[in-house]
Amino acid sequence: MVYVKRNSLPFGIIQTPKETLEKWYHLMALGRALDERAPNYLKQAIGWSYHAPYAGHDGIQLAIGQIFDSKTDHLFPYYRDMLTAVSAGMTAEEIILNGISKATDPSSGGRHMSNHFAKAELNIHNVSSSTGNHTQQAAGVGRAFNRYKQKGVVISSQGESSVSEGYVYEAINGASNEKLPVIFVFQDNGYGISVPKEDQTANRKVANNFSGFKNLKIFHCNGKDVFDSMNTMLEAKEWVIQNQMPAIVQANCIRMHSHSNSDRHDLYRDKNELEYVQQADPFAKFRRILIRYNRLTEAEIAAIDERVKSEIKDAHRKAMAAPDPTPESIHQFIVPEPYIPQKFPTGEHSLKGEPKKLIEAINSTLKEEFRLNPDTYIWGQDVAHKEKGGIFNVTKGMQQEFGKARVFNGPIAEDYILGTANGMSRFSEKIRIVVEGAEFADYFWPAMEQYVDSSHDYWRSNGKFVPNITIRLASGGYIGGGLYHSQNIEGALATIPGVRIVYPSFADDAAGLLRTTIRSRGMTLFLEPKALYNAPKAATFVPDEFEVPFGKARVRRVGSDLSIITYGNTTHMCLEVAEILQKEHSISAEVIDIRSIIPLDEESILASVKKTSKALVVHEDKLFAGFGGEIAAIIAEKAFEHLDAPVMRVGSEFIPVGFNRILEGAILPNTQKILSAALRLGKF
């Protein structure tokens, strides 16, 4: 490589204007003052119980913030990015408000952990503590930049150890493949808490692990040096914008202190090393060269130091006086208000016409909503390749009609599929995304990390961001699919707040719920009983623009002797059972299809139970710890005085679903098992 003189680069101690150097010194001094002051809040039991000091990362963090332009760019900092946040525009007061978890903390209103700096108004994103998972969200914003021709960059920042996470690989692979304008910054201080980087990966410079990726440029810089960091970040940004491809900037830093205030680095770093990192202090270096090259005088520096002291004092005073969050506020921003159906407010109809299969109802609703809203997108594994549209062809014809920019395949990386949906949502509130989360619902588990993270977003950001995503999954058994093709996941996922879960069992409800889902803000898990896609019993007439509100059950058969509460595949079995009960046992059973698991229509369930005095809860998912336990508990608590019998339940065995049809039959609920339970209940 040809040597380029430092004095001829855009930034250097000789050529950088004095006012810029003053600004940088001020930001660095302010950052250090906050960094050093943070532990005091914990010592005084005020807060900031998690603080990851950034000292030693000063160069690259200043540079990230200075290169970032909040008018055009988006920034995903990590928990050590205090100076990044300050340099990008957050004030000392805002940093302290976050640190001591005040209601006015712009990052999260005291909801998220301290040292997770964010400000939605500046496009500085609130990210998870699952470190490095925001790389996928950054790629998602990059995809939005691509689709909406945004002239800027997305900057994602993380420590070098978190690059070991598989989701980081997925993000960079995706950004490389899709040519997304993202800068992935790796701040390498050599440690993941106490784990030295040689225990993470073979390359000492982890960025070099990605050297075989196409459409990706890797930059290295000294993250301890202000000018090298500034020049590198500037070059990376210009390259990314010009080439519309991603870049990695690996910045070599040092960690001058422990990982956080719960860590003691003297337990694993020797005296020599601790002295060595102190000698390499980036802030002290910057101060020295300002004076050595006569760019600032000692007096000028002292004046800035005094100004910083005053700013910190003022910020502290204001932050301490700020209100704490109230206990009553906990229920705000869990799930945003949904779309309220206008034409079919109860989600029911009695219209007659040509029946449509469940799969056709979903397909046509998707197309109708995509025609209506140009800011809709769908992607997933297998969703769009010539005549094929998904493993079950649910999205057939969509790419042909809406184009590859809106309808496209994702890699076999479920976490990336969902993580980029989260990210793309962050670009604009008007965007509505549908993902086919996995080929089959039981393949969705690798996406759990982004699912859980996305479920938090609305609450965690204090209402400032919510991912607008519909997660479609082909769910359930009765197809002889065995493990990974025939299981249910809603029982496990219903334990996670922040996501709506719906599970229709008829074509019209599928169409109506899907329409409401796509039009709503927030995240909804839309489970499709794949055994019913083409089943005549699930086919119904679907009125034009049919809508079903969330949390509204549908009485599929009226009865007076017992209530059967169900959803999904078992709705049809329960209807068959009700028929048998009536014909052969003169028992009048009412069948309620809850349709929405979250929110749950307690009112309809309780009204039915109060009428019949007996309740049987049926679902395909596992009985033990299944969602039916929640329904049973609600009935027991809120309708106890109306019950003439214990609430009974039918569900699958607490066993994985076997592949052999004999095994599957023995494990899953069926009409006979439900009938037996109903008869036992009827005898009370």
Partner 1 sequence: MKVALVYSHSAKKTSQVAEEIKKVAKWETLDTINVEEFDTKVLSTYDLLVLGAPTWFDGELPNYWDELIPAIEQLNLKKVKVAIFGNGDQVRYPENFGDAVGLLAEVFESAGAKVIGYTTTEGYKFESSKALRESKFCGLILDFENQHKKNEERILKWISSLV
Active site residues: 485
Q: What is the smallest separation between the CB atom of 210 and partner 1, expressed in angstroms?
A: 15
The burial class, CB within 10 Å (0-12 / 13-18 / 19+), for 326 is exposed
Query: Is the CB of 63 or the CB of 100 nearer to partner 1?
Result: 63
Query: Is the CB of 160 or the CB of 382 nearer to partner 1?
Result: 160
- Per-position DSSP letters for 603-667, written without gaps between them: HHHHHHHHHHS-EEEEEEEESTT-HHHHHHHHHHHHSGGG-SS--EEEEE-SSPPPSSHHHHHHH
Residues 554, 595 contacting (CB under 8 angstroms):
yes
Q: What is the smallest separation between the CB atom of 40 and partner 1, expressed in angstroms?
A: 29
Q: What is the smallest separation between the CB atom of 120 and partner 1, expressed in angstroms?
A: 36
Q: What is the smallest separation between the CB atom of 162 and partner 1, expressed in angstroms?
A: 18
**Which residues in this chain contact partner 1 in the complex, by CB under 8 A?**
3, 5-7, 12-14, 188, 198, 203-205, 222, 225, 252, 254, 279-280, 285, 288-289, 292-293
Which residues contact residue 181 at a Cβ distance below 8 angstroms, ignoring those fewer than 6 apart? 142, 145, 146, 152, 153, 154, 240, 241, 244, 245, 246
Q: List C-alpha distances in Å: 682 to 565, 577, 675.
A: 15, 13, 10
Reduced to 3 states (helix: H, G, I; strand: E, B; else coil), residue 197 is: helix
Beta bridge partners, 249, equal: 185, 219
- Per-position DSSP letters for 91-127, written without gaps between them: -HHHHHHHHTT-TT-TTTTT-SPTT---BGGGTB---
Instruction: Look at the chain and count its residues.
Output: 684
Instruction: State yes or no: cis peptide before 17, omega within 30 of 0.
Output: no
- Region of 331 please: left (phi>0), alpha (psi -120 to 50) or beta: alpha
Residues 138, 156 contacting (CB under 8 angstroms):
yes
Q: What is the smallest separation between the CB atom of 289 and partner 1, expressed in angstroms?
A: 5
Query: Is the CB of 204 or the CB of 264 nearer to partner 1?
Result: 204
Separation CA 100–CA 38 (nearest Å): 9
Q: What is the smallest separation between the CB atom of 226 and partner 1, expressed in angstroms?
A: 12
Query: Is the CB of 4 or the CB of 662 nearer to partner 1?
Result: 4
Which residues contact residue 110 at a Cβ distance below 8 angstroms, ignoring those fewer than 6 apart? 101, 102, 103, 324, 325
Reduced to 3 states (helix: H, G, I; strand: E, B; else coil), residue 469 is: strand
Q: What is the smallest separation between the CB atom of 34 and partner 1, expressed in angstroms?
A: 24
Residue of 561, 557, 609 whose CA lies nearest to 579: 557
Enumerate the H helices of 115-225 as residue ranges. Answer: 134-148, 166-178
Query: Is the CB of 255 or the CB of 515 nearer to partner 1?
Result: 255
Query: Is the CB of 227 or the CB of 465 nearer to partner 1?
Result: 227
Query: Is the CB of 6 or the CB of 26 nearer to partner 1?
Result: 6
